[in-house]
Structure 1
């Protein structure tokens, strides 16, 4: 038997190099794509923790926690992309859980990138744009006042639905049971969408002639607003209404640069 010559590599197939991008190039692209500096935001948007110089794999998560950071590190990700980061305008002592989170990221050489309001408001891959598209809303217009601008969307369903049927559609979209406050018409067609915490938009919805607001979490101080302004409110979960943006953004990065990604689903029930 003749053994193959180990020095002869002519017939050995070669694999193309795995896609990669420098961290700084990706951060620059994200800043421009998301218009990261265009929004007044309590979140420190952008690169919050500096890790590996090169990004070959991305993990995406709604929230930053010890669990999401560790899962990202265990997955082999070089960058964790989140909606809710670690820094919200107040200095934090590097003690307790905050220190633990930083230790996990630094030990794994893991980059952390956060996009809060810019990811809610983005016209293509933002939370509200993705929800509006999934629900087939038409004739979209800005909705959801925030710091002098609007970060949500309002639109019309292609046909009138009962409030129960519409709530069922939302529940299928998010996979979670919705809380429905039927303060308005039992027929739904004009809907305002603001992911996360948007109960404060009920008066705005009434002024725009919307019959229904779809948002994430209820706030006690706004409980009576829907009933007194005559607007239905569907609370679909803060977490569940904000999974869309980070997933869509990670997929957009893959389309642009070929970088693989995975979503870390860590629901809060809120």
Structure 2
């Protein structure tokens, strides 16, 4: 499989065209020759120089990330941006990114994976962003505690966990939007959720959660977005027969 063929697979599998008008990320191929042969892919959350160096050490031909290098406007290739792009070109490593498509995908996305890890039922789309739902909501019939949720998702204070524990002790109705989506708790409140799961905490939402009686579990931006790249790596193995590994470079934020 070459770079162009992998790009086509990513476009089709994650439905990138559906997000063209709503996502400022340059989704798909960001750096690379279309004819380069791809055998090994490193999957990671962030397009950092550390990620690129780890990929080179692993002998990867390509990198697939959630947070890429290009975000909707032209920027000069200087400083850190220059170092990153230069490293990829020097070592002939292709870079692919999928931002909102990897939040929203029901099977391979951050939010769908979290919903399944919690064994939620009646899972349906949630979290309108520029006209598209990028998260999911569902119901735990038996009810879950905060500790059960954080354990199932691998959230911890060391990885950036913050909890606003203002809801019911037993959580049944849950909404999920990964990353920096604290304001979407307002949508969760509007539909009567017991808890809302996201990545980053927000000071402005603290008193709203307290007054509305909802629990907000903020697992850390990074930690809430490992699920999609891990799931997509498995798809690359199973469907493309590529070697794919997840490289974990946590930020604790």
Q: Into which bin does the TM-score normalised by the smaller protein fall? A: over 0.9
Other-structure match for 2:29:
47
Would you say how many aligned residue pairs link Structure 1 and Structure 2? 247
Between 167-176 and 112-121, report the one with greater CA deviation: 167-176
- The question of whether the paired residues in 2 share the 8 Å contact of 1:84 and 1:116 is answered with yes
Distance 2:225 2:44 in 1: 10
Unaligned 5+ residue runs, structure 2?
none
1:152-171 equivalences in 2 (<5 Å): 152-161=135-144, 165-171=145-151
- For residue 113 of structure 1, give the secondary structure of its aligned residue in structure 2: strand
- For residue 268 of structure 1, give the secondary structure of its aligned residue in structure 2: coil
Between 166-175 and 134-143, report the one with greater CA deviation: 166-175
Other-structure match for 2:7:
27
1:1-270 equivalences in 2 (<5 Å): 21-39=1-19, 40-51=22-33, 53-161=36-144, 165-177=145-157, 178-270=161-253
Distance 2:186 2:211 in 1: 10
* Shift in Å, 1:201: 1.4
Q: Give the root-mean-square deviation of aligned CA atoms.
A: 1.3
- The question of whether the paired residues in 2 share the 8 Å contact of 1:174 and 1:241 is answered with no
TM score, norm. by length of structure 2: 0.94
- The question of whether the paired residues in 2 share the 8 Å contact of 1:83 and 1:115 is answered with yes
Q: Which has the higher helix share?
A: 2
Distance 1:74 1:107 in 2: 14
- The question of whether the paired residues in 1 share the 8 Å contact of 2:155 and 2:219 is answered with no
- The question of whether the paired residues in 2 share the 8 Å contact of 1:202 and 1:225 is answered with no
Distance 2:143 2:134 in 1: 25
Distance 1:127 1:203 in 2: 20
TM score, norm. by length of structure 1: 0.88
- For residue 17 of structure 2, give the secondary structure of its aligned residue in structure 1: coil
Distance 2:55 2:65 in 1: 11
* Shift in Å, 1:202: 1.6
Distance 2:10 2:110 in 1: 16
Distance 1:119 1:74 in 2: 26
- The question of whether the paired residues in 1 share the 8 Å contact of 2:123 and 2:138 is answered with yes
- For residue 131 of structure 1, give the secondary structure of its aligned residue in structure 2: helix
